[in-house]
Amino acid sequence: MENMTRRERKKLMTHSKMLRSAKHLFREKGYEYTSIEDITERADVSKSTLFKHFPNKESLLIGLADEEVTDVLELLETLEDEDEITQIKSVLLRLIEDSIPYLRVTGRVLFTTLINKNNIQSPFKALRDAIQERICSAQEKGDLTTQYSAEQIGVSLMSCYYGVLFKWFEEGGEPGAKEEVDVALDILLSSLKK
C-alpha cells in the first residue's frame, strides 16, 4: 500500500468497502433479496462506481471468494516456520472459522465459484495449489505417504471442509463446526502419515 498512489489506495478502499457491504447485506437479507441499490447505499457509492469494480451481483461473490483466498494465503505466509501439516490444518480451520458467521453467503460463493456457468476460474484454485505444494513438501520429507498423489490427498483434505459445510446445510446448524473439521483432518492425516 505504501508504494501506491493516493488514487490507487482510494480505489482499493472503495473496492473493499463495497465487498464488506455486500457481504453483510447478503448475510442480513440474503443474496436474492439484496439489490444493487442496497449495496451502493450501504457502501455510500454510486451505481457507476460499483459497476466499474463489479459488472454484476454475481461478480461480488467472486470478489468475496478472492478476498477470502487472499486472506488465507497471507496466513500461510505467517506460518512458514511451521511444518506443512500444521500449515494445512491452519488454513482449513481458518476457512471454516470465516465461514461460520456467513453460512448462506459461503454456500452461495461456493456454488457460484465452483459450478459457474460462465466458466470463471475459481479463486479457490490458488488455495488448492498452495495446499498441494505443502503436501508435496511433506511427502518429500517423509511426513506423508507417497501412496497417493498430492492432488488426491488435497481433494481428501478439502473434502473435510466441504463435508462440514454440506452437513450444516442439511441440518441447519453450525455449533462445533471448527471442531468437526479439526477431528476430520486428524482422522485423515493420521491415516496418511508414514
* Residue 174: band (very low, low, confident or very high) from pLDDT cuts 50, 70, 90: low
Instruction: For the chain, give the mean pLDDT.
Output: 88
Q: What percent of the chain stands above pLDDT 90? A: 53
Residue 130 · residue 76 · CB < 8 Å = yes
Whole-number pLDDT of residue 65: 86
* Residue 41: band (very low, low, confident or very high) from pLDDT cuts 50, 70, 90: very high
Question: Which is nearest to 162 in space by CA: 83, 101, 109, 85?
Answer: 109
**What domains does the chain contain, in order, with CATH numbers?**
1-55 (1.10.10.60), 58-192 (1.10.357.10)
Dump pLDDT digits (tens) for 107-116: 888 777 766 6
Mean pLDDT of the 99-109 span: 80
Alpha-carbon distance of 187 to 43, in angstroms, equals 43
Residue 148 · residue 192 · CB < 8 Å = yes
Alpha-carbon distance of 65 to 106, in angstroms, equals 9
The phi, psi pair for 144, rounded to 5°, reads -130, 150
Dump pLDDT digits (tens) for 56-78: 998 898 898 889 889 999 999 99
Alpha-carbon distance of 163 to 74, in angstroms, equals 24
What does the radius of gyration of the chain's CA atoms come to, in whole angstroms?
18
